[in-house]
Amino acid sequence: MLIEAGPLGLFVLSALALNLTPGPDMLFTTASGLKQGPRAGIVAALGISTGSMVHILLAIIGVTAIFKTSELAFDVLRFAGAGYLLWIGIRSFSERAGDLSRPHVKPASMLTVFRRGMLTNIFNPKVALFFIAFLPQFVSVNSGSIALQILILGLLFNLTGLLCNGAVGLFSGGAGRLLLQRPTAAKWISRISGTIFIGLAIRLALTERA
């Protein structure tokens, strides 16, 4: 067997525990769902999972190790991500009161929501460092291809993350849809979403390489 049942079970439990812990991905999904409904929350979760998959593939080929050894590469990626999140947050704040509840106002497309989720994850160097530190702990050199083991573990981690973030996006989207029917609530959703995005930007900008 490529990965033994014992280590695999422990990995799945660990992945669930980690993905159920509130963090940047869950906050991003929550904000997206609140702002544009359940579909946007799920699409944001899909974008985040796609970004994670990029990190996993880079970890397999060794590119991710650059962020562990190069402070410059780490800083460039984190500041790019912080700038992107800041831009999304400012755009949320710039929406006029009640705009989100008006049918003639075109919301961000699902492709845009997906892209934002994916890029937010890709631009976070901490995700890259996490995968190269976490996944190898469950790999056995005596169980065949290490790259294939990491890929399988990465896919499982991504699946648990998608389920957790998707559920959060669905719930927050349902709540957001009810609130968006009220112009005053729509205004506050814009502010709350903007605050979350800007808070994530500040958090990422202040992140230090371990």
| Residue 12 half-sphere exposure toward CB, CA atoms < 13 A | 10
pLDDT of residue 1: 58
As a whole number of angstroms, the distance between CA 155 and CA 76 comes to 27
- pLDDT for the residue 104: 46
- Residue pLDDT, tens place only, 152-179: 999 999 999 999 999 999 998 888 777 6
The domains of the chain are located at: 26-205
Closest CA to 42 of 160, 163, 154, 127: 163
| Spans in the chain with pLDDT lower than 50 | 96-101, 103-105
What are the Cα distances from residue 99, in Å, to 32, 106, 107, 114? 16, 9, 9, 21
pLDDT for 98 equals: 43
Q: What is the pLDDT of residue 97?
A: 38
Residues 13-52 as b/e (b if ≥16 CB within 10 A, e otherwise) read eebeeebbeeebbbbbbbbbbbbbbbbbbbbbbbbbbbbb
